[in-house]
């Protein structure tokens, strides 16, 4: 069909193409490559959880859930936040169940960012933040992290704050670097925005994936900070079911009320049987407490594999991503290198430059190690040949 020439499409996101996660997973499929690019496990979620969904479907839990979420799930999440982070939450007024973390982030940004507002993003960053800010009419202000350790210098960071700053978006454990906030980071942040009108959007989807004895520094642990925060979580990361697209947003009542004004017209509510199933499954804390040990083993197995290669692994304190510097192998741009790894070597990875607005290329690629042992071993066999 010929396009109608009277139709002028003026893109609201002219600089945006297809997300790297779709691009690399498609390339991996096309070339039958091992897919260590997009972040998802290659193993299934627990049978017990699937059986619970089936149970609730059979019991007739198939109509709209309440807009904010199924009450038992809200209750279980409030309990969990109390036992892990000491937070005293009102389940009904402070927790909203969303269609994954991506929707929670989008809804939070849409609810609070107005035309001309500045939003500070820390890059490299998950790729949904900046388009969401721009669609809301906001202006992204970028703080760049980089080699060797992706540390934030909070004094430098403070220089980015202006009277127009409406929101700061942070992410710990951090995708893609694997860096984890320390208590000092949270305290610096708390100090920085105390007595301002700045909101904090805290992406905590990897809350359970911290290694080497580190504890996740949730904003829920810091009552002062929490008063001006929206914290976002994802069940997909915690229970190996990224395809269910379920998550939540936790925020004080006044912020949650604004969040829900958008949420109700954005999705209204999300899958009913899955919410009831998750509520039951959350009753056993071991179901999420054992995750750190489970993934730390995979990280260590993957690090061992990398040791025999020419890739130089960067520190990974959390998430299920391991980044590595490939500058000893090639000086190609990372996007080209990632494509060549997929097409010629049969191993798909993510080039880290795509997480920067500036496309800063430090010759780093990201591997997802949420994979079974055999896949990690096969990856190792390929990596030593590159
Ligand atoms: N934030 C970060 C940092 C992520 O890596 C991801 C990817 N899973 C998300 C948010 C989105 O999570 P969800 O799949 O629940 O939308
Ligand atoms: N967060 C996942 C990653 O970083 C992918 C999410 C997505 O595909 N949208 O790989």
Q: Is the pLDDT of residue 228 over 80?
A: yes
d(CA 197, CA 330): 46
Q: Tell which residue, 296, 341, 267, has the closest CA to residue 107.
A: 267
Q: Which helix (H) or strand (E) holds 190?
A: helix 183-193
Percent of the chain residues past pLDDT 90, beyond the cut: 94
Ligand 2, atom 7, lies closest to the CA of 21
Ligand 2, atom 4, lies closest to the CA of 39
Mean pLDDT of 77-100: 98
Atom of ligand 2 nearest to the CA of 368: 10
Mean pLDDT of 196-206: 97
- Among 5-9, 173-177, 255-259, which stretch is predicted with the lowest mean pLDDT? 5-9
Q: Is the pLDDT of residue 8 over 70?
A: yes
Q: Is the pLDDT of residue 4 over 80?
A: no
Pure H helices in 10-139: 20-30, 47-58, 71-85, 91-94, 100-112, 129-135
When the pLDDT of each residue in the chain is averaged and rounded to a whole number, the result is 96
DSSP classification of residue 261: H
**pLDDT given for residue 7 in this prediction:** 87
d(CA 103, CA 245): 9
Would you say 360 and 144 are in contact if contact means Cβ atoms under 8 Å apart? yes
Would you give the end-to-end CA distance of the chain in angstroms? 45
**pLDDT given for residue 238 in this prediction:** 95
Q: Is the pLDDT of residue 99 over 70?
A: yes
Mean pLDDT of 214-243: 97
From the CB of 256, is ligand 1 less than 6 Å away? no
Ligand 2, atom 10, lies closest to the CA of 39
Percent of the chain residues past pLDDT 70, beyond the cut: 99
Write the pLDDT tens digit of every residue in 33-81: 999 999 999 999 999 999 999 999 999 999 999 999 999 999 999 999 9
From the CB of 351, is ligand 1 less than 6 Å away? no
Determine the length of the chain: 386
The residues with which 109 forms a beta bridge, in sequence order, are: none
Q: Which of 127, 242, 355 to mutate to test the pocket of ligand 2 (most atoms within 8 A of CB)?
A: 242
Write the pLDDT tens digit of every residue in 121-160: 999 999 999 999 999 999 999 999 999 899 999 999 999 9
d(CA 56, CA 223): 36
Ligand 2, atom 2, lies closest to the CA of 39
Ligand 1 centroid distance, CA of 236 (Å):
8
Report DSSP letters for 223-239, one per residue. Answer: HHHHTTEEEEEEHHHHT
* pTM given for the model: 0.97
Ligand 2, atom 8, lies closest to the CA of 21
Would you say 179 and 318 are in contact if contact means Cβ atoms under 8 Å apart? yes
Q: What's the alpha-carbon Rg for the chain, to the nearest Å?
A: 21
**pLDDT given for residue 3 in this prediction:** 65
Dihedrals φ, ψ of 113, to 5°? -90, 125
Q: Is the pLDDT of residue 221 over 80?
A: yes
Ligand whose nearest atom lies closest to the CA of 25? 2
Write the pLDDT tens digit of every residue in 13-36: 999 888 888 989 999 999 999 999
**pLDDT given for residue 1 in this prediction:** 65
From the CB of 236, is ligand 1 less than 6 Å away? yes
From the CB of 138, is ligand 2 less than 6 Å away? no
Q: Which of 22, 37, 100 to mutate to test the pocket of ligand 1 (most atoms within 8 A of CB)?
A: 100
| CB neighbour burial string for 350-372, b if at least 16 within 10 angstroms, e if fewer | bbbbbbbeeebbbbbbbbbbbbe
Mean pLDDT of 272-289: 97
**pLDDT given for residue 5 in this prediction:** 75
In which region does residue 100 sit, left (phi positive, over 0), alpha (psi from -120 to 50) or beta (all else)? left
């Amino acid at each position: 069909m010929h396009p109608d020439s009277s139709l002028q499409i003026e893109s609201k996101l002219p600089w945006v193409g297809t997300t790297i996660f779709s691009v690399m997973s498609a390339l991996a499929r096309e070339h039958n490559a091992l897919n260590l690019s997009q972040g998802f496990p290659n193993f299934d979620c627990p049978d017990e959880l699937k059986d619970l969904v089936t149970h609730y479907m059979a019991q007739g839990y198939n109509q709209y859930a309440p807009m904010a979420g199924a009450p038992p799930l809200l209750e279980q999440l409030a309990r969990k936040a109390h036992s892990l982070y000491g937070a005293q939450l009102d389940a009904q007024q402070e927790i909203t169940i969303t269609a994954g973390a991506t929707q929670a982030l989008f809804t939070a940004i849409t609810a609070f960012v107005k035309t001309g507002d500045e939003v500070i993003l820390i890059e490299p960053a998950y790729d949904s933040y900046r388009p969401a800010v721009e669609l809301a009419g906001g202006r992204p202000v970028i703080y760049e992290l980089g080699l060797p350790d992706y540390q934030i210098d909070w004094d430098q960071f403070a220089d980015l704050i202006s009277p127009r700053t409406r929101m700061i978006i942070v992410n710990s454990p951090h995708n893609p670097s694997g860096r984890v906030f320390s208590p000092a980071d949270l305290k610096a942040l708390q100090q920085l925005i105390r007595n301002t009108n700045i909101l904090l959007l805290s992406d905590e989807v990897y809350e359970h994936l911290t290694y080497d004895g580190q504890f996740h520094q949730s904003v829920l642990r810091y009552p002062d900070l929490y008063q001006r925060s929206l914290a976002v979580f994802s069940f997909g990361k915690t229970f190996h079911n990224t395809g269910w697209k379920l998550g939540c947003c936790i925020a004080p009542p006044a912020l949650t009320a604004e969040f829900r004004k958008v949420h109700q017209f954005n999705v209204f509510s999300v899958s009913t049987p899955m919410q009831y199933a998750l509520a039951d499954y959350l009753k056993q804390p071991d179901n999420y407490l054992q995750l750190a040990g489970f993934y730390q083993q995979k990280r260590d197995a993957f690090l061992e594999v990398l040791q025999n290669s020419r890739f130089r692994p960067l520190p990974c304190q959390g998430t299920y991503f391991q980044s590595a510097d490939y500058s000893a192998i090639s000086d190609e741009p990372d996007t080209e290198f990632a494509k060549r790894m997929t097409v010629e070597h049969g191993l798909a990875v993510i080039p880290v430059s795509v997480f920067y607005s500036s496309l800063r290329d430090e010759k780093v690629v990201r591997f997802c190690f949420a994979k079974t042992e055999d896949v990690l071993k096969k990856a190792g066999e390929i990596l030593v040949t590159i």
